[in-house]
Amino acid sequence: MAVWDDLVGQDRVIEQLAAAARDADALVTAEAAPGGPGPGGASKMTHAWLFTGPPGSGRATAARAFAAALQCVSPDRASGGPGCGFCDGCHTALVGTHADVEVVRTDVLSIGVKETRDLVRRAQLSPAGGRWQVIVLEDADRLTEGAGNVLLKAVEEPAPRTVWLLCAPSLEDVLPTIRSRCRSLTLRTPPVGAVADILVRRDGIEPELADRAARATQGHIGRARRLATDERARARRAAVLKMPLRVADMGGALKAAQELIDAASEDAKQVAEEVDTKETEELRAALGAAAGTGGRLPRGTAGAMKELQDRQKRRATRTQRDSLDLALTDLTGFYRDVLAIQLGSRVELANTDARADLERIAAGSRPEATLRRIEAIVACRQALDRNVAPLLAVEAMAVALRAG
Ligand SMILES: [Zn+2]
């Protein structure tokens, strides 16, 4: 069925979701029938699902596809299975305008108690369309412990037609009490060929570029698409891959570190420019800032404005961190290729476009040194996770990447 088309290389997961959507549909139909539902068999449908899988495997895509299938109203759904992709239910769920599908995506580092409480309250409402009230929580790993406990109560005792779809990188990222109450689905990293294929088929990207982007991002669909369609992303990646050649001396290492940080700040600034101003204006209007009085805010609304500013600041931090993370991923991929060349391994290289540089670094050092460099990148990641100042962490890494 069409709603599953964007899920790349996940046949087993699709099978389970399709079966659950079918049972869910039968349940709704039976309840609507005179006399109510008969004695049903074991249903494959349940109220709480947990989608895990490595970044880029399509967790959120899978959750949204399932949400759409649950809302499918195609007259053919009994024969072909729900999830046609074209009926009003499927279509609005997929584009994000369905009244009974709420997708929660956060651009800050954590989801707090207050937001979660609001969400739980909305989740208890009966579905306007009479089918399911679906909440997709794309970053369930970002719930604070308090927020997790709020959610736990809702997942334990869901309203009869409420469905929670939680997404997280791995099971360990979710509170044990919550994950034990969810049915868990694990997505795998899609094969490079399948990613290239969907870039060609869906995004109309030229096959050679699609193949290169899929290989460079090692099965991360979103990043592959970005790389194939965004010139700036390609330039950024090319710059990161030049870093190993520039860190030979201390001066070069420190300069490269500074540039990496600057690029990440630039990304954060760009996102802020695109979103912050508009958001602030909208909030001002909503709070009733009087036109013609210099836009002064009415009494007692400063708190809301402050809250927005805090949120924007947290978003900037996260954008910067994501951008750095991406650079570190590319850098790890580079040294992994170097190692493959040094060991004469026959795995396909991720960075075929940087082959000359890979060969040069591989010839000029030993595998042990390459391993040590990969460890330095891992250490940098861990330092960033512990909130070490980004410049310090990246400088330490750049220095450790030097020859030797
Ligand atoms: Zn449909």
Q: Are residues 279 and 198 in the same domain?
A: no
In this structure, what token pair is assigned to residue 55? 């970044």
Burial of residue 390 (number of CB atoms within 10 Å: 0-12, 13-18, 19+): buried
Assess whether 218 and 321 both reside in one domain. Answer: no
**CA nearest neighbour of 72 among 33, 135, 24:** 24
Q: Residue 373 Cα, ligand 1 centroid: separation in angstroms?
A: 50
Q: Each residue of 226-250: pLDDT tens digit?
A: 899 988 888 888 889 999 999 988 9
Q: pLDDT over 70 for what percent of the chain?
A: 95
Tokens of 11: 């046949």
pLDDT in tens, 312-323: 888 788 788 888
- 235 inside domain: no
Same domain, 355 and 206: no
Per-residue pLDDT, 294: 55
Looking at the fold, whether 60 and 164 belong to one and the same domain comes out as yes
- pLDDT, residue 361, reads 94
Give yes or no: residues 16 and 164 share one domain: yes
**Segments in 217-301 forming alpha helices (H):** 221-229, 231-246, 250-287
pLDDT band at 339 (very low <50, low <70, confident <90, very high): very high
Cβ burial of 291 (10 Å; 0-12, 13-18, 19+) is exposed
Q: Is residue 1 part of a domain?
A: no
Distance from residue 76's CA to the centre of ligand 1 (Å): 9
pLDDT score of 374: 96
Position 316 scores a pLDDT of 83
pLDDT of residue 404: 57
Task: Flag whether 236 is in a domain.
Answer: no
Rounded to the nearest angstrom, the distance between the alpha carbon of 3 and the centre of ligand 1 is 8
What pLDDT is stored for residue 106 in this prediction? 78
Band of pLDDT at residue 36, cut at 50, 70 and 90: low
User: What confidence tens digit (pLDDT) does each residue in 139-187 have?
Assistant: 999 899 999 999 999 998 888 899 999 999 899 999 999 999 999 999 9
Say if residue 266's pLDDT is above 90: no
Is there a domain that residue 313 lies in? yes
Lowest-confidence pick of 84-98, 198-212, 295-309, 332-346: 295-309
pLDDT of 74 higher than 90: yes
pLDDT, position 319: 81
Q: Is the pLDDT of residue 292 over 80?
A: no
Domain assignment of residue 101, yes or no? yes
Ligand 1 centre to CA of 189 (Å) is 27
Per the domain annotation, does 91 fall within a domain? yes
Q: 103 CA to middle of ligand 1, Å?
A: 18
Say how many Å lie between the CA of residue 283 and the centre of ligand 1: 36
d(CA 230, CA 220): 15
C-alpha 19, offset from chain centre: 25
Q: Tell me: do 268 and 380 sit in the same domain.
A: yes
C-alpha distances (whole Å) from 276 to each of 33, 123, 142, 288 are 49, 28, 22, 18
Sign of CA dihedral 276, 118, 64, 81: negative
Q: Does 63 share its domain with 163?
A: yes
Of 86-100, 189-203, 297-311, the poorest mean pLDDT is in 297-311
Q: Tell me, in angstroms, the distance from the centre of ligand 1 to residue 120's CA.
A: 27
Judging by beta carbons within 10 Å of its beta carbon (0-12, 13-18, 19+), is residue 204 exposed, middle or buried?
exposed
pLDDT band at 19 (very low <50, low <70, confident <90, very high): very high
Q: What is the DSSP string of 296-356?
A: PPPTT-HHHHHHHHHHHHHHHHHHHHHHHHHHHHHHHHHHHHHHHHHTT--SPPS-GGGHH
Closest of 84, 80, 63, 60 to residue 72, by C-alpha:
84
Ligand 1 center to residue 69 CA distance, Å? Answer: 6
Question: Distance from the CA of 174 to the center of ligand 1, in angstroms?
Answer: 31
| pLDDT confidence of residue 60 | 93
CA–CA separation, 383 vs 75, rounded Å?
54
Look at residue 88 and tell me whether its pLDDT is greater than 70: yes
CA of 107 to the centre of ligand 1 (A): 30
Q: What is the CATH number of the domain that holds 176?
A: 3.40.50.300
pLDDT attached to residue 283: 83
CA of 86 from ligand 1 middle (Å) equals 5
Question: Does residue 98 belong to any structural domain of this protein?
Answer: yes
- Main-chain dihedrals φ then ψ at residue 375, nearest 5 degrees: -65, -35
Confidence of residue 375 (pLDDT cuts 50, 70, 90): very high
73 Cα to the center of ligand 1, angstroms = 5
Cα of 1 vs centre of ligand 1, distance in Å, is: 9
Look at 30 and 59; give whichever has higher pLDDT. Answer: 59
Residue 191 Cα to ligand 1 middle (Å): 28
Q: Residue 7 Cα, ligand 1 centroid: separation in angstroms?
A: 17
Confidence category of residue 40, pLDDT binned at 50, 70, 90: low
CA distance 68 to 120: 21
Q: Which residue has the higher pLDDT, 360 or 273?
A: 360
Instruction: Please indicate, yes or no, whether residues 145 and 104 belong to a single structural domain of this protein.
Output: yes
Expressed in angstroms and rounded, the spacing between residue 52 Cα and the centre of ligand 1 is 25
Residues 115 and 197 in one domain: no
Q: What's the whole-model pTM score?
A: 0.73
Mean pLDDT over each residue of the chain, to the nearest integer: 89
**pLDDT (0 to 100) of residue 39:** 54
Q: Of 28, 115, 14, which is closest to residue 63 (Cα–Cα)?
A: 14
Q: Are residues 181 and 32 in the same domain?
A: yes
Answer whether residue 113 shows pLDDT above 80.
yes
* Predicted local distance difference test score (pLDDT) of residue 325: 87
What whole-number percentage of the chain has pLDDT above 90?
55
Q: Ligand 1 centre and the CA of 198: distance in Å?
A: 22
Instruction: Supply the pLDDT for residue 37.
Output: 58
74 CA distance to ligand 1 middle (Å):
5
Total count of domains within the chain: 3
Could you tell me the residue range of the domain that residue 141 belongs to? Answer: 11-186
Say whether both 70 and 167 belong to one domain.
yes
Ligand 1 centroid–CA 51 distance in Å is 22
In a domain, 5, yes or no: no
Closest by Cα among 310, 339, 348, 331 to 394: 331
- Would you state the pLDDT for residue 107? 72
Shared-domain flag, residues 130 and 259: no
CA of 48 to the centre of ligand 1 (A): 22
Residue 18 C-alpha to ligand 1 middle, in angstroms?
12
Q: Measure 72 CA to ligand 1 centroid, in angstroms.
A: 4
